[in-house]
Structure 1
Amino acid sequence: MDPKPQDHQSPSSTPSQLRQVLVLRPPPVFTVHEQDFSSKFHILKAYDSPLPTHDFLQTHAQSVKAVLCSGIGPITADVIRDLPALELVVTASTGVNHIDMAECRRRGIAVTNTGDVFSDDVADAAVGLLIDVMRRITSGDRFVRGGRWATSGEYTLGSKLACKRVGIVGLGNIGSRVATRLKAMGCLVSYTSRQEKHTTPFTFYPNILQLAFNSDALVICCALTNETRHIINNKVMMALGKKGIIVNIARGAIINEVELVKCLVEGEIGGAGLDVFENEPNVPKELFELDNVVLLPHRTAFTQESFYNAAQILIGNLEAFFTNKPLLTLVPNEF
């Protein structure tokens, strides 16, 4: 069932009921800009309630039409079933893998995201991670802070970025921006994606193994789906080779994390820059001591500017919904 425009107001409703927005767990964008949300909507804070989540949802089951969420507060089929009046899920992210899209489609619930508001910041960070691993910047910082410069003086050489063959896994909004940045820095860019992009100058490979075999580094930018889960496996890492580098700014489960750790520890690949992990916030402890691995806490999208812009999009979608206007960033539900 496809989402249909409906009248979200009724003559007997009060203003607070008209603009109720449920938040299971506060997205970081909401936390930073909570005042802006609270001035426009009546926020139902499940996370502040002494009631268990199920009981809280039951209390507001007949009145909640809109939910604001992010990856830290998944919208599961159980949550959706507890909210029979729900018509809109607004996520403070680009990805929607934390939302049961099939159940939303069945119920006719619309889903919006933040569009491409985070794309430039994530692309910048992806390139930053690649440079960091190749030039050993974080490793060098630890070298100096640990006092080894004064006592040893020997420091492992890094590698030049220009002329490296970099494969982009997923040439969408973010992947295209990463590719453009790397091309400007002298890299030889290729990609694999669901479909070949005939308008781009980059070399297309029809599968991930061919891309890895012809790359010095892979930058993962694709969405997490059933098809892409663990698409980066041992075979791909072996094809990339002992000097190969993997950067992941997409979703942790796109990589088989157990095999990645094994390959890194055993020296089967050259290094990794990781912003995302399979079981966040848990990170494999084996990675902590590796100088050829750079770790971030799923924060490549987090800048002051992107948070402000994202908040405006989230508020804009909620206001559009409550005033029966077209949603700004409706996610096509093909799940």
Structure 2
Amino acid sequence: MPAQMPPVVIEGLERQFTLHKAWEAPDREAFLREVGPTIRGIALGGHTKVDAAFLDRFPKLEIVSSFGVGYDYIDAVEAGRRGIIVTNTPDVLTDEVADLTVGLLIATIRQLPQVDRYLREGRWLEKPYPLTATLRGRKVGILGLGRIGKAVAKRLEAFGLPISYHGRSRQEDVAYDYYPTLVGLAEAVDVLISVAPGSAETDRMVNAEVLRALGPNGVFVNVGRGSVVDEPALIEALRSKTILTAGLDVFADEPRVPKELIEMEHVVLLPHVGSASVETRRAMGQLVVDNLVSWFAGKGPLTPVAETPYRR
């Protein structure tokens, strides 16, 4: 285990395996040189870059069990080329992230954090808070209609909002309007929600052109990956009122958030807490453990990623 993980992972793995805790080693490099050649499985979160150089340290490695649904910090293609299984933790966090997404959207449009501060600062005694924008009458576009995207769409349908989406291709079993280009989707809606994973294909795809298409009444919400957005373009769009506002739970260089965003009073910023409830993080951690236990019991991985070489 390269870095510390939740107790459910540490305790679960210690019951089943010999767990090497790299973060406790006084000399990490010496530790990895010593134990690296013996390691068959790795459990990790999103703060350890797994590339070819990392994998070279573990010649007997069979499986990498990742905490979280996103795994853009892992070169899964390279792992697959070496015959190494990569797993993630989908499904167990879907509803939690979808709930947070809807909450972030409402908080952003109705300025709930700003209103809360207004009251706490005693300013309501002076005059009422200014009127805000509304969710009513809006059209929602979703970038990345996977498990989480569909859960978000289902919730927003209950608000009476029309849903459209953009992805690699049309999904035949989905009734929502499909747009083959992201610019086309942005032009058709006034709320754009990104649930897209980070990858070379999605890198900075929400760019200045997309934000211009979203327009001055547009609201952008990102709960997928910060790399999907051209952050300087987003900052300029917010500064110049090219779009109305944004609600962001993810950033390009976490945990570092651009000073320009922090200083903008009209945006809502969260520290990547989409799945961060006690219950959901416990379930995610248990799935990290269960993937390793299943693999070494000869039953295969439970949730292999698309690039992994395992086929049932």
Q: What is the TM-score normalised by the length of structure 2?
A: 0.95
> What's the counterpart of residue 263 of structure 1?
237
Q: Secondary structure at the match of 1:163?
A: coil
Question: CA shift at 1:334, angstroms?
Answer: 7.0
Structure 1, gaps ≥5 residues long? 1-22
Question: CA shift at 1:308, angstroms?
Answer: 2.1
d(CA) in 1 for partners of 2:290, 2:207: 40
> What's the counterpart of residue 37 of structure 1?
13
Q: Secondary structure at the match of 2:216?
A: coil
1:136 is the counterpart of 2:111: yes
1:157 is the counterpart of 2:135: no
Cα deviation code 1:112-157 (max 9, x no counterpart): 1112111111111111111001111111011112222223x14232
Q: Which AA in structure 1 matches 2:131?
A: L
Q: Which AA in structure 2 matches 1:43?
A: L
Q: Secondary structure at the match of 2:301?
A: coil
Q: Which AA in structure 2 matches 1:35?
A: E
Aligned counterparts, 1:106-117, within 5 A? 106-117=81-92
Cα deviation code 1:184-231 (max 9, x no counterpart): 111111000111112222111111000000111100011111111000
1:146 is the counterpart of 2:121: yes
Distance 1:34 1:105, change over 3 A: closer
Question: CA shift at 1:290, angstroms?
Answer: 2.1
> What's the counterpart of residue 27 of structure 2?
51
Q: What is the TM-score normalised by the length of structure 1?
A: 0.89
Contact in 2 for aligned 1:169/1:218 (Cα 8 Å): yes
Contact in 1 for aligned 2:84/2:308 (Cα 8 Å): no
**RMSD between superposed Cα atoms in Å:** 1.5
Cα deviation code 1:259-316 (max 9, x no counterpart): 1111112222111110100011110112223232111111111112212221221111
d(CA) in 1 for partners of 2:30, 2:232: 38
d(CA) in 2 for partners of 1:285, 1:258: 11
> What's the counterpart of residue 11 of structure 1?
none
Aligned counterparts, 1:195-206, within 5 A? 195-206=169-180
d(CA) in 1 for partners of 2:296, 2:8: 23
Aligned counterparts, 1:202-213, within 5 A? 202-213=176-187
> What's the counterpart of residue 54 of structure 2?
79
Q: Which AA in structure 2 matches 1:183?
A: E
Distance 1:296 1:186, change over 3 A: same
Aligned counterparts, 1:272-291, within 5 A? 272-291=246-265
Structure 2, gaps ≥5 residues long? none
Which of 248, 264, 273 is the aligned partner of 2:222? 248
Contact in 1 for aligned 2:93/2:275 (Cα 8 Å): yes
Cα deviation code 1:69-108 (max 9, x no counterpart): 1111222221100111111000011111011112202210
d(CA) in 1 for partners of 2:302, 2:222: 28
d(CA) in 2 for partners of 1:150, 1:222: 43
1:312 is the counterpart of 2:286: yes
Contact in 2 for aligned 1:69/1:75 (Cα 8 Å): no
Moved more, 30-39 or 167-176: 30-39
